Amino acid sequence: MKYESILNSVYGNLLTIDNIGSVAAYIPELAKVSPEYLGAYVHTLDGQQAGVGDFDVKFSIQSIAKVLSLCLIYRNADTNIWNRVGVEPSGSSFNSLVQLEYDKGIPRNPMINAGAIVVCDMIISTFKNYRSEVLTFVRELAQCDTINYNETVARSELSVGYRNISLVNLMKSFGNIENDIDEVLEFYFLLSSIEMTCQELSRTFLFLANDGKEFLSDRSILSLSQSKRVNAIMQTCGFYDEAGEFSFQVGLPGKSGVGGGIVAVHPDNFSIAVWSPKLNAKGNSYRGFKFLERFTTDTGLSVF
């Protein structure tokens, strides 16, 4: 299959439609990003690579990093992480306090804010140099040593992170946060600030299309069972309260971020990353969603 021609066709089509939505202006630094960016990149397990548009421009991956932090702790934790975070779709906003109160401080899944905060708490408890541990893990997956945090973005998020401050305090009151809440929050926002290109992001997630194994070396990142379960969580929980719609329209496990990025994988086939900063009402990239819907239609490839 000629992925380059398909990407170009989808990209050309997307440029003809209205760029609906708005950037994540509630985060001051993200409000400065041009809404006109559009890029995509695909890596396949048979060795193909193809990109289109602004695929080589770095952007803040935001909540996409939640998958990477989950994978890091999942393969290293000595205890069952699922005692502290669930695996069910939330069916409500990604920063819901009401749901967390109802569930007595146990987040529904690790892809919503509360769940990712608990995962950050676990990482702090597990690794002495947790900030560098995460960066090393991501750089190895992407095969790129220039990937880094954007501390300006992290500080910008922290300055307006009132809802997340409430979430971590509520979980602390239920005994589901072990470490200092300020340290946990700072790390959570730092994690979200990681910057990558579509090309780097697609390469990073290729192991989840390859049964948990690194593409070139065949080194195990996750076990087969763990890889299957992470993909399942992305399929059911990766798009906030629009995960069902993404499954219905696109049909791939994936994860979005309010920076406008989306990454999706087809097990045993490919990993694809798309970026367009304008978000729909649910907080997912409007054109990114449309791009992947058209991509799976034109290729005829989805997990269904």
Instruction: Map residue 295 onto helix, strand or coil.
Output: helix
Phi, psi of 292 (to 5 degrees): -70, -30
Task: Name the token pair of 292.
Answer: 């992947």
Stretch among 85-99, 186-200, 217-231 having the lowest mean pLDDT = 85-99
Distances (CA, A) of 213 to 48, 67, 110, 240, 302: 18, 16, 22, 27, 21
Question: What 8-state DSSP symbol labels residue 255?
Answer: E
Q: Quick one: pLDDT at residue 79?
A: 62
Q: Give the whole-number percent of the chain exceeding pLDDT 70.
A: 98
Q: Say if residue 96's pLDDT is above 80.
A: no
Residue 101 has pLDDT above 80, yes or no: yes
pLDDT-derived band at 72, boundaries 50, 70, 90: very high
Mean pLDDT of the chain: 94
Residue ranges of the domains in the chain? 3-299
What CATH class has 3-299? alpha beta
113 pLDDT band, cuts 50/70/90, is: very high
Band the pLDDT of 99: cuts 50, 70, 90. Answer: confident
Q: What pLDDT, on the 0 to 100 scale, is given for residue 78?
A: 61
Under a CB-based contact definition with an 8 Å cutoff, are residues 255 and 237 in contact? no
Q: How confident is the model at residue 9 (pLDDT cuts 50, 70, 90)?
A: very high
Distance CA 120, CA 68 (A): 11
Looking at residue 128, its pLDDT comes to 94
Least confident of 81-95, 106-120, 191-205, 254-268: 81-95
260: its two tokens: 């406008």
- Give yes or no for residue 105 having a pLDDT over 70: yes
Record the tokens describing residue 44, joined without a space: 């396949």
Indicate the pLDDT class of residue 235, thresholds 50, 70 and 90.
very high
Picking from 92, 84, 154, the residue whose alpha carbon sits closest to that of residue 118 is 84
12 burial class (0-12, 13-18, 19+ CB within 10 angstroms)?
exposed
- Torsions phi, psi for 44 (to 5 deg): -115, 160
The arithmetic mean of pLDDT across residues 73-97, rounded, is: 83
CB burial of 47-71 (b: ≥16 within 10 Å; e: otherwise) equals eeebbbbbbeebbbbbbbbbbbbbb
Residue in this structure with the two tokens 């700072």, named with its chain if needed: 186
Q: What is the pLDDT of residue 2?
A: 85
Mean pLDDT of 192-197: 98
- Residue 93 pLDDT more than 90? no
Q: 65-74 and 113-126 helices cross at what angle (nearest 10)?
A: 40
Helix or strand or coil: residue 13?
A: helix
The DSSP symbol for 125 reads H
Angle between helix axes 65-74 and 181-192 (nearest 10 degrees) is 120
Residue 1 has pLDDT above 90, yes or no: no
Across the range 136-154, mean pLDDT stands at 96
Contact (CB, 8 A) for 89 and 109: yes
Element (H, E) at 169: helix 162-173
Q: What is the pTM of this model?
A: 0.96
